[in-house]
A = this chain, B = another copy of it.
Amino acid sequence: MLCARGISLALIRQNADLYYFSGTVQDAHLFIPAEGKPVMLVWRSLSRAADESPLENIMPLEGLSRLADAVKDAGINMDGTLGLEMDVLPAFFYNFYTDRAWPGAKAYDISPLIRETRAIKSQWEIDQIRAACRQVAEAVETVPHVLKPGVTELELAAAVETKMRISGHPGYTRMRGWNQELGYGQFLSGGQGALPSWTNTPGGGQGVNPAFGISASSRRIQAHEPVIVDLGGSVNGYLCDQTRLFSIGDLPDHLKKASDATLELQHKIEEQLKPGTISGTIYDYALDFMSQLDYQAHFMGTGRDQVPFVGHGLGIEIDEYPFLARGNRMELCAGMVVAVEPKLIFPGEGLIGIEDTFLITEQGAERLTLSPQELRQL
């Protein structure tokens, strides 16, 4: 695939990509030539890399200033073109590679190619995502035990997060998009759930302070308001994404009706998740569905904070290909895993919605997330 795009050598540096292509996360330069075997030059830790990675050619790198020589010594053919992860590689390194290590080298952005490759999951990867779904299904059952009037969003978050942490969650979630940040997920209640944020998500939440203005806050949860529990499971580096809606006592009828609409749309979208569907058409369908119910001004945000998508691929990052987004022309294929999250925002009242992780197979979609989908009024 590198060769077909005129790239003779790819350089992998970012944690998630390193894990995908080498099985370990180290401070390393992984060179993948269009022809021949990959070579990983490791600053630290060389011993951890050797223990964890199945790659054959793992060699030490004694600092960036030695890079060009080390590449030559390793017999890597650096002919002046270099594929780089331009969407995540800091400008400092980009300039270092193209000005100092190999002056005049021509850089190609290999991020789209990496993301396309990663979009189709192997059986092993799917098994890890299934395990992440089990982790989340168990953790979310903490909610009915904790959710009482007066509990804070942070107390609810801590109870669920503890359960996930003990089962092996690293505590934070990898996102590819720059400046995107995520812990275990989002815990949003009442009107604060309707607050927008900088992240590419329909809901934001107040967060703990303006430095971290997303997800749970010290707000005390009340009866009869929506409580969103949006969790990213994490097992062996692989993620799932599931959102469930709770309330203490009944929700007002108009919010219950909105919840029913998101669940109905979820079932409709599930039917369209099959090989050959164009990703963007699912967003178009979702928007049309919500427009017919007069929810278009609430769909995936409000006003200028609306986000034009209804789902996203996921794997070792929470924002992988394909994007079920306006104008996206990617064709769905068997082996893709997508999170679908139709959500409605009611300013001052809260966020209503659902999210499930689906595997696309030749026979259609298989829902991987395991929790009951219905609104749970406790």
Contact = CB atoms under 8 A, between A and B. Distances in A.
Given A92-B86, A172-B172, A45 B196 contact: yes
A115 interface: no
A25 B155 CA distance: 24
Q: How big is chain A's contact interface, by range?
A: 35 or more
Q: Which of A15, A28, A84 has the largest number of chain B CB atoms within 10 A?
A: A15
Interface stretch (A160-168, A244-252, A369-377): A160-168
A198 B25 contact: yes
Give the interface centre of A26, A27, A157, A212 by most chain B CB atoms within 10 Å: A212
A44 B305 contact: yes
A181 B48 CA distance: 17
A26 B198 contact: yes
17 contacts: A24-B210, A27-B198, A45-B305, A46-B304, A47-B196, A48-B204, A89-B90, A90-B91, A92-B109, A93-B178, A158-B165, A169-B208, A171-B184, A209-B237, A210-B236, A210-B237, A212-B234
Interface of A: 13-15, 19, 23-28, 44-48, 52, 60, 84, 86-95, 107, 109, 111, 152, 154-155, 157-159, 161-162, 165-172, 178-179, 181, 183-184, 195-198, 204, 207-213, 215, 218, 234-238, 304-305, 316
